[in-house]
Structure 1
């Protein structure tokens, strides 16, 4: 099992592991995750037919096909062609739903709970039949995570992961050449395709980073939210202050240097502001980055391009930039006044 789920496994961690570390040969797992969140959010049901799930599943696939036509590694897909036909107006809604019921779940029902070739020790649904109608039953664990403090973040995290994966597929750029960058003012991750002279916004940086921190502040492990307007809305923080970028000519806007912080730690009365975190948090940053590198989406290549292709090079890079930053800031290190038990 991946280190992400080994340290402090919880239901939220397992659900995120499905999204963050599952193998991506098609986007069906993302559509299934969003469908589960939607049908589960309506209240307890003893049985949910594939017909009912298809309404949600197909809607998300069709929506993402409008954003990016590449929704699978395979060059051909009968089901995706039907969804394209629905978007083009040549396939009726009833045909779309019936085709989804027959074709959309062929692999995803069995593969959903598999992570890194291992099956999770928990299940969020079970395949079942009622009066010869195939469907699923949501488990108590699924309803528990829907009642958790992180419930509002799951949908945006799935969307963020989906956008990152389809961007890698759709740009036509080799994954080791794809550079994901951060727009500080808009709080967006984006890809700039120099040969095409355009910029593609991918996703909110909050949503992309939140799952790897398990919905916790990077520094004190308090619960944070990515939902706009929430009182605990996370700040996107530069671990090493952005103001040092000109001094070192380093990409401090890079994903490697971005973490999510609670408002108290980032800008409270005894917050970090432009201070340098204590060196123990550098190790935490390294481990967080390694979580990202162990996953399968473009942030892996972006991080390695920014900090080093091997583990030893990444350690050396972080150590060098950290000590330069510490020296430039007078050697003062910051730590939060309050810290819960580690969550990652």
Structure 2
């Protein structure tokens, strides 16, 4: 699935936003700090924000993450004037007051227009998302970030809370992949799901990275895999085993289950708790399998490490078989049932 195919499933500002957040290149985490600030100002209905005010929210959000995980690959050498170097040096004073220091704010105002604000809408391959969410107007101290009607509508939409959660989850995943040790584990070995907490962890250290629902719902366009309705803010959400996990136990009683691990990411999908309860242990419908194949193909378009997890499933989860696509993989699982 290409980015164009993903967008075609929801040809809207939401689709463009998810393209930028979930499928854009991630050499650093600046786009997530920018996206968080955009949603926050949009939710307050502010159409025009002085660049300095916008940069304050942006840099504060980045510093809060910087104290937990690196915001660029640790192998990357940062110069003294690099924005991340300044952010690290000013983080303690910034967090103590709850406001960026003058030096940090000046660095953000100086770097944002020529760095993250030029790149947020860009995708890999020199393409851009169909919708834009802001523009920079004015010059010098009078520069203003103007939010577009698409961003304002998005920030007040039914899925706004979900979009913010998806962005936060993606930020957590990317920054963790930058960290030494755990990042290498995530990129080389993929992720593990802790069923006690529904958290994604790395396989080696079992350190929590982010929530499974938040990390995957965006690749389903924020919709239940079973009924295809929106996963609303007030809805109870469960994680569905699309092929029921009970199959593995059922086959244990008559021999051995010859299919792949059904407790893995490829088979797990956010769904309404009521839909999941009604579905129970039935096998997936053809429509549900098509949705799962599309969801997994979309994840394969995102940078590490969720993509790596699914690559490993395609490569080795079916004993003695090699498949190259998710429809083919799911047909093979059906044959094992």
TM-score, length basis structure 2: 0.85
| 1:169 equivalenced with 2:178 (yes/no) | yes
C-alpha spacing 1:313/1:32, structure 2 compared with 1 (3 Å): closer
| 1:266 equivalenced with 2:276 (yes/no) | yes
| 1:189 equivalenced with 2:189 (yes/no) | no
Q: Which moved more, 1:73-82 or 1:257-266?
A: 73-82
Please point out which of 239, 253, 270 is paired with 1:236.
239
Q: Is the 8 A contact 1:179 1:301 kept in 2?
A: yes
The alignment of Structure 1 onto Structure 2 pairs a total of residues equal to: 313
Q: 1:324 is matched with which residue?
A: 336
CA distance in 1, matches of 2:187, 2:116: 28
CA distance in 2, matches of 1:89, 1:266: 47
What SS is found at the alignment partner of 1:2?
helix
For the aligned residue pairs, the C-alpha RMSD in angstroms reads 2.4
Please point out which of 5, 10, 13 is paired with 2:12.
10
Q: 2:319 is matched with which residue?
A: none
- Structure 1: segments with no counterpart, 5+ residues: 326-344
What SS is found at the alignment partner of 2:16?
helix
Please point out which of 79, 82, 85 is paired with 2:86.
82
What SS is found at the alignment partner of 1:32?
helix
Q: Which moved more, 1:200-209 or 1:243-252?
A: 243-252
- After superposition, residues 281-320 of structure 1 pair within 5 angstroms as 281-308=288-315, 312=324, 314-320=326-332
| 1:199 equivalenced with 2:210 (yes/no) | no
Task: Deviation per CA, 1:114-164: give whole Å up to 9, x if none.
Answer: 123212222110111167522310011111111211011111110101111
What SS is found at the alignment partner of 1:235?
strand
CA distance in 2, matches of 1:183, 1:283: 26
Task: Deviation per CA, 1:274-308: give whole Å up to 9, x if none.
Answer: 11112342232122111101111311010010222
Q: How many Å apart are 1:60 and its aligned residue?
A: 1.6
- Structure 2: segments with no counterpart, 5+ residues: 317-321
| 1:254 equivalenced with 2:264 (yes/no) | yes
Q: Is the 8 A contact 1:308 1:317 kept in 2?
A: no
Q: 1:136 is matched with which residue?
A: 145
List 4+ stretches of structure 1 deviating above 6 A. Answer: none
Q: Is the 8 A contact 2:25 2:303 kept in 1?
A: yes
C-alpha spacing 1:90/1:316, structure 2 compared with 1 (3 Å): closer
What SS is found at the alignment partner of 1:294?
coil
C-alpha spacing 1:243/1:40, structure 2 compared with 1 (3 Å): same
C-alpha spacing 1:176/1:55, structure 2 compared with 1 (3 Å): closer
CA distance in 1, matches of 2:285, 2:170: 30
CA distance in 1, matches of 2:55, 2:283: 50
- After superposition, residues 32-71 of structure 1 pair within 5 angstroms as 32-45=34-47, 47-71=48-72
| 1:112 equivalenced with 2:120 (yes/no) | yes
Q: How many Å apart are 1:30 and its aligned residue?
A: 0.5
CA distance in 2, matches of 1:129, 1:219: 48
Q: Which moved more, 1:101-110 or 1:152-161?
A: 101-110
TM-score, length basis structure 1: 0.84
CA distance in 2, matches of 1:292, 1:75: 30
Task: Deviation per CA, 1:7-29: give whole Å up to 9, x if none.
Answer: 33111111111101111111000
